[in-house]
Structure 1
Amino acid sequence: MVHKIDFEHTQDKKVCRFQEEYYWNRKVMNICFATDDNYVKATSIAIMTVLLTNKDEEISFYILSQSLTEKNKQALQNTVFKYSSKSQICFCILTSSIIDKFYSTIKKENHVSLATYLRLFIPSLLPNSVQKILYLDGDIICTDSLRPLYETDLKDSSLAAAHDERTCDSECFERLNYPMKNGYFGAGVLLINVDYWRKNNIQKKCIGFVLNNKKVCVWHDQDALNKILNGTVKFCHIKYNVYEHLYENENNYPALFNTEIKEAVENPVIIHFCSGRKPWTFESRCPFTSLWLKLYKQLFDKKCRLVHRYKGKTRFLWGIKKTLHRLGIKKYEEFEYSRGYFNLKKKIEEKYF
């Protein structure tokens, strides 16, 4: 059974760089990323932007992983210490062989890293002294202060998160079998009440739901979190999790969110490259892709080598359509790149460079 998982060890103490007082300093922001060796560079850029836009903050970074090379651990450490003299970093490594069995049974997609499931293990992986933590996906950039979000009073709430586009999708609630009034959140940005998760066995419940409802979990552990936590979530402003396609004229939110979406797009705090069109792919259409690539060059002192999202026949057909579109023979919406938001990009760049 899932609840009998025997963790060989949950923290790699050798690379925990925290001083004891950091655990109990309530002014420190606890921020968590889950990553693997393939996602270290993206995660490094996310950390870099968090530090550049929260310069006065003391931040305790927790990196969750099943395994990381020493080189990649050092790269993440270097990013933190390069951009902040106040912040700390700790690697929480889950090495139990049972996680391999868990991974082997779950649904996989090319653009979804298995590391994302590690957020379900937060109660076990983090020190008991951590009572609240801000979990962030590695494919984000932070554009403003996270303090207002972090100070959200969770009280009896399990977490705070922003509404996802499926928050009024009847099919979603029928599939997960819970009331639409409880909403549906995106799991890429979560302010987690860790105490609540521990006291209510959220880890065990979510993992059990994933394993026992594989066909139901269309959106992976995000579905499990929404199902298990429905009715206990405090919803925050969408500006804390702005999906990149909102800048590509793809707004699938219900009309009642139009005002909030407009505010979020114009004043984002976190921009989330959540689709398969990551900024390091040829297929990316987001107007902030160029900004991400500029950040990459600044951090790693070299240009990012783009990769294709598609493979085989799909990539071949994509290339043909792109050529036809470029020559004006036939127009395809997927190649209609957004050219707007110049002033917003300039405003954000001023915080970075």
Structure 2
Amino acid sequence: MKLHSNSAEKANINYNINRQLSDVRDDDVSAEIDICLTFDRNFIPHAAVTLLSATRAIGKRCQLNVHVICSSDIGDEEHHAFETLSPHAKITWYEVDTSRFERLPDNREHISLATYIRLLIPETLCPVVQKVIYLDCDTILTDRLYDLWSTNLDGAPIAAAPDEGGQTHAKRLKLIDSSFYFNAGVLVFDLEAIDSNWFAEEVARVVARDDVDLHLQDQDILNLLFEAKAHKLDLRWNANTRLYTPNDLRPAYTPIEAEAAMLFPGILHFTDRRKPWTENCNHPLRDLYWELRNQTLWRETLSQQLLRNVKDLLRNRFSKSRRLVNMNY
């Protein structure tokens, strides 16, 4: 997507995000909102960023219930450190054995088997809540969470936004025409509409299929499970990295939808393997991650921050991928 000016558009998007969040602070809507995060020990700092962003995306009269489904390698000290991020949120921990995923596809270097934990949401949370928003731990909320929470699913068991390579992946999985391939990084589950036993059986059935390549792991599994059953969310609730960087994949959304989501993101999702915490990240809004992380116990030291800034300046000047972003963004 060609934009007028890198610096001007970036400033415009940051202004939009700040305006959206300032409106949240004055929000007097009263609601109880349930969200779910899933991660292992390696992802705690990034989960902390997502949680902190969620706390600033709810009004003063909203209650945030955080359901953390995690691996068994997270200790009590880390539990406590995580909980101090949001003293007003109610955090409930559910520990699971990730060894049950060892036979599932493990084909992407930057994705661990912990990605499959989200497949345990129905069996873990169906007895506890009726509805829950799942958030990947590489997401940042940039608008009022209640607006997503109050989305009408029109009877669908799940809601999700179209994926950045949606047409490509729908063809790969041979999805029917009435379906769309969605990104699984932001999901709204209507748990009353999902039988947890059926869900577990269907996961096993999909994994056993030999006519599809589950290249995108649990995301592919969820798309096959909910083929033609998912409610389509506005793309701004899962504003992926490829909205801001060059992309050769065929998305499942229009250029008009892409531009609206890019300018007014409700949730930023760093979908590329180049995450904000990696040196080669070329996302123009990567600093939003560090602004939040440096408010947590996993903050950078001053020397680490200075070193990152210097490296960032050098990459802006000499990195081919950064130059491509500047040309297209």
Name the TM-score class by shorter chain: 0.7 to 0.9
Is 1:244 the counterpart of 2:241 in the alignment?
yes
Alignment partners' CA distance in 2, 1:214 and 1:111: 25
Specify the code of the residue in structure 2 equivalent to 1:28: E
Q: Aligned residue for 1:43? A: 47
Structure number with the bigger relative contact order (C-alpha 8 A, sep ≥ 6) is: 2
Alignment partner of 1:300 out of 297, 314, 326: 297
Q: Which moved more, 1:237-246 or 1:120-129?
A: 120-129
Alignment partners' CA distance in 2, 1:200 and 1:153: 25
Is 1:27 the counterpart of 2:68 in the alignment?
no
Q: Which moved more, 1:285-294 or 1:296-305?
A: 296-305
Alignment partner of 1:94 out of 88, 93, 96: 96
Alignment partner of 2:63 out of 54, 58, 63: 58
Q: Aligned residue for 1:146? A: 145
Change in Cα spacing, 1:175 to 1:131, as seen in structure 2 (3 Å) is same
Alignment partner of 2:83 out of 73, 77, 102: 77
Alignment partners' CA distance in 1, 2:245 and 2:125: 37
Change in Cα spacing, 1:200 to 1:246, as seen in structure 2 (3 Å) is same
Q: Answer yes or no: is the 8 Å Cα contact 1:48–1:80 preserved in 2.
A: yes
Q: Answer yes or no: is the 8 Å Cα contact 1:106–1:211 preserved in 2.
A: no
Specify the code of the residue in structure 2 equivalent to 1:59: L
Alignment partners' CA distance in 1, 2:197 and 2:171: 25
Question: Equivalences for 1:98-109 in 2 at 5 Å?
Answer: 99-109=98-108
Deviation at 1:27, TM superposition (A): 2.9
Structure with the largest fraction of strand: 2
Alignment partners' CA distance in 1, 2:242 and 2:68: 27
Alignment partner of 2:323 out of 324, 332, 336: 336
Q: Aligned residue for 2:124? A: 125
Is 1:259 the counterpart of 2:256 in the alignment?
yes
Q: Answer yes or no: is the 8 Å Cα contact 1:246–1:265 preserved in 2.
A: yes
Deviation at 1:201, TM superposition (A): 1.2
Q: Aligned residue for 2:111? A: 112
Change in Cα spacing, 1:60 to 1:160, as seen in structure 2 (3 Å) is same
Specify the code of the residue in structure 2 equivalent to 1:32: C
Q: How many residues align?
A: 287
TM-score (ref. length: structure 2): 0.79
Deviation at 1:235, TM superposition (A): 0.1
Alignment partners' CA distance in 1, 2:163 and 2:58: 25
Alignment partners' CA distance in 2, 1:132 and 1:232: 16
Q: In structure 2, the residue corresponding to 1:201 is in which secondary structure? A: helix
Identity, in percent, stands at 25
Deviations 1:49-69 (Å, cap 9, x if unpaired)?
A: 111121422111000112121
Q: Answer yes or no: is the 8 Å Cα contact 1:184–1:226 preserved in 2.
A: yes
Question: Equivalences for 1:220-235 in 2 at 5 Å?
Answer: 220-235=217-232
Q: Answer yes or no: is the 8 Å Cα contact 1:210–1:220 preserved in 2.
A: no
Q: Which moved more, 1:52-61 or 1:255-264?
A: 255-264
Change in Cα spacing, 1:207 to 1:288, as seen in structure 2 (3 Å) is farther
Deviations 1:211-267 (Å, cap 9, x if unpaired)?
A: 545961011010111011011110010000011232224474559611111110010
Deviation at 1:198, TM superposition (A): 1.7
Structure 1 residue ranges without an equivalent (≥5): 1-25, 307-318, 327-331, 343-353
Alignment partners' CA distance in 2, 1:63 and 1:213: 33
Deviation at 1:164, TM superposition (A): 0.6
Change in Cα spacing, 1:199 to 1:124, as seen in structure 2 (3 Å) is closer
Alignment partner of 1:193 out of 190, 194, 199: 190
Alignment partners' CA distance in 2, 1:180 and 1:72: 46
Q: Aligned residue for 2:10? A: none
Q: Answer yes or no: is the 8 Å Cα contact 1:131–1:193 preserved in 2.
A: yes
Change in Cα spacing, 1:71 to 1:257, as seen in structure 2 (3 Å) is same
Alignment partners' CA distance in 2, 1:65 and 1:72: 12
Q: Answer yes or no: is the 8 Å Cα contact 1:241–1:270 preserved in 2.
A: yes
Change in Cα spacing, 1:50 to 1:339, as seen in structure 2 (3 Å) is farther
Q: In structure 2, the residue corresponding to 1:277 is in which secondary structure? A: coil
Deviation at 1:134, TM superposition (A): 0.2
Structure 2 residue ranges without an equivalent (≥5): 1-29, 306-310
Change in Cα spacing, 1:37 to 1:214, as seen in structure 2 (3 Å) is farther
Q: In structure 2, the residue corresponding to 1:45 is in which secondary structure? A: helix
Change in Cα spacing, 1:207 to 1:274, as seen in structure 2 (3 Å) is farther
Alignment partners' CA distance in 2, 1:139 and 1:185: 17
Deviation at 1:174, TM superposition (A): 4.3
Specify the code of the residue in structure 1 equivalent to 2:75: T
